[in-house]
Amino acid sequence: MSSNGKLIEENKVPLLDYVSTNNNNYLEQNDQSFGLRFWIETKKLWPIVGPAIFSRIVSYSMFVITQAFAGHLGDLELAAMSIASNVVLGFDFGLMLGMASALETLCGQAFGAKKYYMLGVYLQRSWIVLLLCSIIMLPIFFFATPVLIFLGQPKDVSQLSGVVVLAFIPLHFCFAFQFPLQRFLQSQLKNNVIAWANFVAFIVHVLISWLIVYKFQLGIIGTTFTLNLSWWLVFLVLFCYTTCGGCPLSWNGFSMEAFSGLWDFFKLSASSGVMLCLENWYYKVLIVMTGNLENAKIALDALSICMSINGWELMIPFGFFAGTGVRVANELGAGNGRGAKFATAVAVIQSTVIGLFFWILILFFHNEFALIFSTSKPVLEAVHKLAILLAFTVLLNSVQPILSGVAVGSGWQAYVAYINLGCYYLLGVPLGFIMGWGFHYGVMGIWAGMIFGGTAVQTLILAIITIRCDWTKEAEKASMHVRKWDDVGHLTS
């Protein structure tokens, strides 16, 4: 532990002096050229971002492969798997992932403050909170069929989707354990371990999926079994690594401290879950609205292709989301407000450059990308019309998740949840409805309204908040937050 950290822990140096000292240390680094500082920050950022991008692409691919194998069983099976994984499991995934993201704030700031033992306590608290929420959410799985029928889905698809959703219950509980563990390791810059665990699970997933569909012919329930197995395999690898010596400073075994401060922990987790769930569901609303258009089959096919392309590319900004959250939390936890500000700037610049590259790529080669999914001429023509909106969605997504990562690293989840609700659902969705039906622009109007009315405005607001942020005060708050949680644990243990 550094001398500054020891002085804080012994309460011999006031908190403001600690923050000031760290900012002065950072000011000394400002004597270096901008290019050198940019390079140093890049070397800190990419060991987190690179493995995070790889892990997310692999995890996303496992869902895609499962749907592809289900498609080889028949159209009904493909529809049931798509609805079960995208609608029901998609809601579950977004909420649980968001709740686990509270650890990016707490673990990241504790790691930056060198209070390593607190990371293990935070992890166990997250497991307790998410496990309780998993139990509370079980009725969603048990009553999926009547809910889907109520939403207007065909009866046969709804019934089979309900069966598939029940088979996904083990995966539902896996989310509660794996997501916190990933954030725990990510906050300690151990992303390579997560990447390797996902890679091993991906290979196993492909092999077992092939065996179950083509050799054993176990049907759609067999394909859900492969996804359950693969995700639990990732958790077991990460759990064994953590508990068998991989994290000697941050994991000291199970502790009764995990049961202290659960209500405050739940509130931060809930705001994180709502924040990310509102973002995750926004473009699913686009698909639902498009499905209510007249003669919507071609529009839905084209939109599905665009959303698939967007989904693959979105894994890159999500990697930056993870990296930015960790870097900002680490710097704030260490009292380096200016360091957090510079880390944000570097992440936004690099992600935007990558976004511009894919923006150009989609504008010029969208027809070639669409051929991967369909050879239908009407569908390809529809994709051609939507390409400009896809390109701008990709460009906006190169900035928006990074700003959300700043919010997570700084602990602003509750504020951003309100911003997301207002921009996405009180502005974007109504504007999309007006442009789609009121002005008769169809799917292009719906999508344009939701992009420029919701995503663009939300990104602009987050950018203004980030630019106007007093990073010195944020560093002070983070240091106080770390001490508060530390005091709670000691008083109740």
Most confident region among 93-97, 254-258, 459-463 by mean pLDDT: 459-463
pTM of the full predicted structure? 0.79
The dihedral region occupied by 255, where left means phi > 0, alpha psi between -120 and 50, and beta the remainder, is beta
Backbone phi and psi for residue 438, each to the nearest 5 degrees, phi listed first: -65, -45
Residue 11 CA, distance from chain mean position: 37
The tokens for 444 are 């292009």
* Cα–Cα dist 109/125, whole Å: 16
> Does position 1 have pLDDT exceeding 50, yes or no?
no
Most confident region among 78-92, 125-139, 436-450 by mean pLDDT: 125-139
Q: How many CB atoms lie within 10 A of CB 389?
A: 19
- The percentage of the chain sitting over the pLDDT mark of 90, rounded to a whole number, equals 28
User: Could you read off the pLDDT of 143-163 as tens digits, one per residue?
Assistant: 988 988 887 667 887 888 889
* Cα–Cα dist 265/183, whole Å: 15
User: Could you read off the pLDDT of 377-408 as tens digits, one per residue?
Assistant: 888 888 888 899 999 999 998 998 888 888 87
Distances (CA, A) of 235 to 89, 228, 243, 465: 18, 11, 12, 36
Q: What pLDDT is attached to residue 373?
A: 67
Q: What pLDDT is attached to residue 31?
A: 57
* Cα–Cα dist 94/217, whole Å: 31
Residue 284 binned pLDDT confidence (cut-offs 50, 70, 90): confident
Listed residue (415, 451, 433, 324) closest to 42, CA to CA: 324
* Cα–Cα dist 244/409, whole Å: 28
Listed residue (267, 310, 470) closest to 400, CA to CA: 310
Q: How many CB atoms lie within 10 A of CB 2?
A: 11
Average pLDDT, the chain: 82
Residue 29 binned pLDDT confidence (cut-offs 50, 70, 90): low
Burial grade of 359 (CB within 10 A; 0-12, 13-18, 19 or more):
buried
